[in-house]
Amino acid sequence: MIKTYPELLLVAYPPQLWIDLIAQWKQMLKNEIGGFASWNSKAHITIAFCWNQSAVDHYIPRIRTFCKFAVPAEVIFDKLVYGDETFLIEPKEVSKKYINNFIRDLHKHINKKGKRPSAHISIGRELSDVYIPIAKEIFKDEEINLKFPFAGLHLLKFNSETGHYSDIIETFEFTGKQQPDLFS
């Protein structure tokens, strides 16, 4: 059975410094256990999937408007979490609340139904029960405190040749502009 992927993905990227660090961690884990889902994907926070271009054409103007009024905020990711077949980095509670509310509000603004938001940056997905203890051992002494501005989104297209969401279609910066008061 051929696995199908949504055509487009809306993400927020941490700064390149953190992208590079997470890439190193993924490589360390791969060196120990071999390949795994997401081992060579660029570090990101998933905001939404879009299955086809026509849906995106509908969403893009709404995303632009939403981001124009969105206020950037510093977020902190500071927890390594090992879960059900996953190894990821979660944000501090205040950052998690901010990002999850942002995702929920954006989905509501663009009229997109989505699953309950859960802000995180994946290191490894689809890891067997055998590999989770290995990951824990490799990273047991790692302290993590990734601080960065959550200040924009990127719409990525799935590249079937590379098997990644690597082609940036559009970038949406948060400008923090004040919405006009329609009732004054």
- Convert the pLDDT of each residue in 95-145 to its tens digit: 999 999 999 999 998 887 777 889 999 999 999 889 999 999 999 998 899
pLDDT, greater one: 178 or 109 = 109
> What pTM, to 2 d.p., does this model score?
0.89
pLDDT value at residue 177: 81
Choose among 144, 136, 149: nearest CA to 89: 144
- Would you kindly state where each structural domain of the chain is located, as residue ranges? 8-73+93-119+151-173
pLDDT over 70 at 182, yes or no: no
Q: pLDDT value at position 119?
A: 95
pLDDT for residue 178: 74
Question: Token pair of 126, please?
Answer: 């689809």
Worst-scoring range by mean pLDDT, 8-17, 43-52, 96-105, 166-175?
43-52
Neighbours of 66 (CB within 10 A): 20
Q: Does position 170 have pLDDT exceeding 90, yes or no?
A: yes
* pLDDT higher than threshold 60 for residue 184: no
Q: Give ∠ CA 72-78-83 in degrees, rounded to 5.
A: 115
- The secondary structure of 36-56 as a DSSP string is -BTTTSPP-EEEEEE-SHHHH
Sequence-ordered list of residues with C-beta below 8 angstroms from that of 164, at least 6 positions apart, any chain: 40, 41, 42, 158
In this structure, are residues 33 and 132 in contact, taking their beta carbons and an 8 Å threshold? no
In the prediction, which pLDDT does 134 show? 93
**51-95: per-residue pLDDT in tens?**
677 777 888 899 999 999 999 999 999 999 998 889 999 999 999
Distances from the Cα of 154 to the Cα of 3, 30, 145, angstroms = 24, 27, 23
Which residue in this structure is represented by tokens 């509000």?
105
Q: What mean pLDDT do residues 30-52 have?
A: 88
